[in-house]
Homo-oligomer: A and B are copies of this chain.
Amino acid sequence: MTVILTYYRTIRLSDTDAAGVVYFASLLSICHEAYESSLETAEIDLKTFFRDPQMVIPIVHAEITFFQPLWSGDRLKIDLTAVQLNQTEFEISYKILLSSSDDKSIAQAKTRHVCINPTSRQRVPLSESMVKWLS
């Protein structure tokens, strides 16, 4: 697994909660932004990708572990790696760092995605463009 995208993102007020730091689920959402950004670099059109009547790729599992809190204005660097698990499934790993000191991990996350037909909800093989993106 090689890093296929490095995504930069500043923590915004809407990402935080009354405890003063980033709300736990918001950081998973920020990881998903990195995934979307990565799809764009592979020239996948996001407008149609998430609403494709033939094939959608929902997340079937997500997890995140936090080592440090994050505050408004913190500048993140997210390293994204992806691996195809089989014909219909892939997993993305996210290594979340501060861009100012990127030798220290702030959090790490994973999402697992399965390719299905959105009507039947049955598994279908990943498209060529996705297999290409994964390799």
Contact = CB atoms under 8 A, between A and B. Distances in A.
A25 B71 CA distance: 19
By size class, the interface of chain A is 35 or more
A50 B25 contact: no
Interface in A16-73: 16-21, 23-26, 28-29, 32-33, 36-37, 40, 45-47, 49-51, 56, 58-66, 69, 71-73
Contacts of A12: 32-33, 36
A102 interface: no
Contacts of A62: 24-25, 28, 63-64
Contacts of A56: 19
A121 interface: yes
Contacts of A66: 58-61
13 contacts: A10-B36, A10-B37, A12-B32, A19-B50, A23-B29, A24-B62, A24-B111, A28-B28, A28-B62, A36-B73, A61-B64, A61-B65, A62-B64
Interface of A: 10, 12-14, 16-21, 23-26, 28-29, 32-33, 36-37, 40, 45-47, 49-51, 56, 58-66, 69, 71-74, 111, 118, 121
